[in-house]
Chains A and B, each alone.
Chain A
Amino acid sequence: MGKIEWAMWANEQALASGLILLTGGIVGVAGQFAGWQFAAYGVAAGVFVCLLEYPRGRRAKGTSVERTGQYCLTVCVKAFGPITRNYYVRAFLHAALCVPGGFMLATVLGCVCLGIASLIYLLAAIRGEQWLPILPKTETREKPRESIKEPPQNPPPRPPADLRRKRLEDVEGAAYVNPIPVTGSED
């Protein structure tokens, strides 16, 4: 029920496969077993797959949980544009990468796991999913409002006209102290 995002699972699988391939390659190289060159390839391919798959993609619906410290790799992976965005490319890339691992016992498990991840990516691609980066939202700063540049058009509010009328009969009583000191204009 509901739309399953297969790409998320394929991503987990591919990351785990990269680690398995890497581990198998290290064991093969360290033991110097027959065909250790394939183990060396396994180490390189494992590292590459881990770096490619570490940045998690953004979910189509809902909140995305990113992996610790994935921002730098997100930027790198995003830089490749459609090559990394498209899951068909990833599916075929992983299928191609896993084949040499099948020639040596130490890396065969990594090969099988990467192959499965490649199939799930193919399924995700067929369902139209694509990789979108999780980037922090840049807060759009509000433009500071224009300050008032023009002088006021209307005079300040004043008491009613009958109070303002000059009271010649009582000049003393009509006097008041300005709350704000008034200075004469210079010019």
Chain B
Amino acid sequence: MAVSWRSWTANEGAKHIVLWLSANTVLFWKTFTLYCYGPQYYYLYKMLGLGLCLSRASAAVLNLNCCLVLLPMCRAVLAILRGSQKVMSRKARRLLDKSKTFHVACGVAICLFSVVHVSAHLANVYSFSLLYSEEFPSLNIARHKGEVSWCVCFAVPGVTGVLLVFILFLMFTASSHGIRVCSYEIFWYTHNLFVVFYMVLLVHVAGGALKYQTNVEDHPPGCLGSNWTGGSDNVCRAEPHFQAHFPQTWLWVSGPLCLYCAERLYRYVRSCGRVTVESVVKHPCGVVEVRMLKSGFTARPGQYIVLNCPSVSSFECHPFTLTTCPTGTEATFGIHMRVLGDWTERFVELLLSEDSAETETLPVVQRRTYPKGDWQHYKLRRLYFVWVCRELGSFYWFADLLCGLHQKLWQENRPDYLNIQLYLSKTEALQVCVGRQYQALSARLQVGRPRWPELLDDIGKSNKDKRVGVFCCGPKGISKALHQLCNSGRSCGTTFEYNKESFG
């Protein structure tokens, strides 16, 4: 499928990736040339060569990425930024939605540049040993020429370096998609080793193995020694003095680390409040709606909550999108939870005890206060709601809400505002019987999977030269197909902006 440049840039050409790539490249190049040509590193470069430049340049990039990698995970901060409508433009909000991708990009960069850094330092260790400098003993790490490289490694930077690689190895191998799908706990517990990683990193950079020359004016590099008897201007006035750098990493890393720790503390304090389960409603197809109350809790449509039930599991936390948000009149909030997996099974078992007489099998009608009349305030002009389910019973989860909304829009003479399309993907052994009160939905029910290209074409033709936001919540197959379709240019001049739900 051909990719349209305009559609591609609307979806992928986020400025932050370009900015991040440029920052990494510039930092790498500047540091590389500094260590290659800088006069204060002349003698060190003579000893270590390319290994010095590569190791320091990769260290600079590692500083930047270790600083940036924590920022996308400050979810409370990002939620506040994203929610402040006056400050943030739509493009900036979409950028914030990609925070998890940015975190992964920084993580991958850390791994790649760690490989470069370790390889270059391996070469440096050998160079320190073989090219031990008799002329400038303070420049050396090795204690004598030809010292076994093992011993060179037992200095603080060496030991901490090995420990850092070990932790990074554990974190990286447990972060692949397969592990996160199969055993999320392994991913979660190894990823929390980041605390140890940062602590060891702060010690690693304090080693001071590489030194720079402080008195370049008095002793220009390559100057002739004081016992030079012939006349020349380039005579050394003093012996070179070497000093270890101040650990720059402390400046890079301490800010984001403190911010992230504050964020975790805030999340912990916020989670300490009591939550009351107001009602539990059983829906068809193994879905349970849980309505809860918590004092001081506010949320907006589209946000998700993370549930932790100590009676089920002390450490497990599971995200669920809010299906009912607290409003001014009603403080309850609710989620719809599909019972699939051991945590949800045990959680629902706990909630639905045997002698509970309050369980209902019909969905609860939700009373929401919708904006009255004046829809012009909202930028949204039309909403296409496409819902694909395997079984008919699934549509009952929100049938009342959809019918209620449809009815309201009809009464306000806005029938074209909401276009509902329901698809039943399981085509065998069908018996489509829908109650009379859901006639509006049964008229919009189609059997079979939706044909996404034709659907988007139709939407494009009806909304020429407009911007259409596509919000996908579903399996990877649909998400990928929609993403590709949004990137390919359809001929109507409509731009499709792709957004995916992800519990970032």
Contacts and interface: CB of A to CB of B under 8 A. Distances in A.
A13 B169 contact: yes
A31 B48 CA distance: 13
Nearest to B119: A27
A33 interface: yes
Contacts of A62: 181-182
B313 interface: yes
A171 interface: no
A16 B173 contact: yes
B176 A105 contact: no
A112 B162 contact: yes
Interface string A108-148: 11001100100000000000000000000000000000000
A65 interface: yes
Summarize B's interface: helix, strand, loop or mixed. Answer: helix
A112 B186 contact: no
Nearest to A61: B182
Contacts of B181: 62-63, 65
B123 interface: yes
A90 interface: no
Contact of B126 (A12, A17, A31): A31
B310 interface: no
Interface residues on A, range: 20 to 34
Contacts of A65: 177-178, 181
B418 to A, nearest CB: 35
Contacts of A106: 122
A105 B174 CA distance: 26
B341 A27 contact: no
Contacts of A69: none
A180 B54 CA distance: 91
A4 B183 contact: yes
B387 interface: no
A9 B125 contact: no
A159 interface: no
A42 interface: no
Interface in A37-52: none
A28 B169 CA distance: 21
B503 interface: no
Given A2-B342, A24-B122, A16 B183 contact: no
A73 interface: no
Contacts of A5: 182-183
Contacts of A59: 182
A65 B477 CA distance: 13
B492 interface: no
A9 B165 contact: no
B289 to A, nearest CB: 23
Please report whether the interface of chain A is mostly helix, strand, loop or mixed according to DSSP: helix
B173 A13 contact: yes
Contacts of B125: 105
A1 interface: yes
Nearest to A106: B122
A66 to B, nearest CB: 9
B182 A8 contact: yes
Nearest to B313: A1
A109 B165 contact: yes
A56 interface: yes
Given A4-B183, A112-B166, A9 B174 contact: yes
A113 B150 CA distance: 18
B349 to A, nearest CB: 13
B123 A9 contact: no
A86 interface: no
Contact of A12 (B150, B153, B173, B316): B173
Interface in B94-143: 115, 118-119, 122-123, 125-126
Contacts of B178: 8, 12, 56, 65
A177 B119 CA distance: 96
In the A-B complex, the 10 residue pairs with the smallest Cβ-Cβ separation, listed nearest first, are A12-B173, A4-B183, A13-B173, A105-B149, A2-B342, A27-B119, A1-B313, A33-B126, A65-B178, A16-B173
12 contacts: A1-B316, A4-B183, A5-B182, A9-B183, A12-B173, A13-B169, A23-B115, A24-B119, A27-B123, A34-B126, A65-B177, A112-B166
Given A1-B313, A109-B118, 18 more contacts: A1-B312, A5-B182, A8-B183, A9-B173, A9-B186, A13-B169, A16-B169, A17-B169, A20-B115, A31-B123, A62-B182, A65-B177, A105-B153, A106-B122, A108-B162, A112-B162, A113-B169, A116-B169
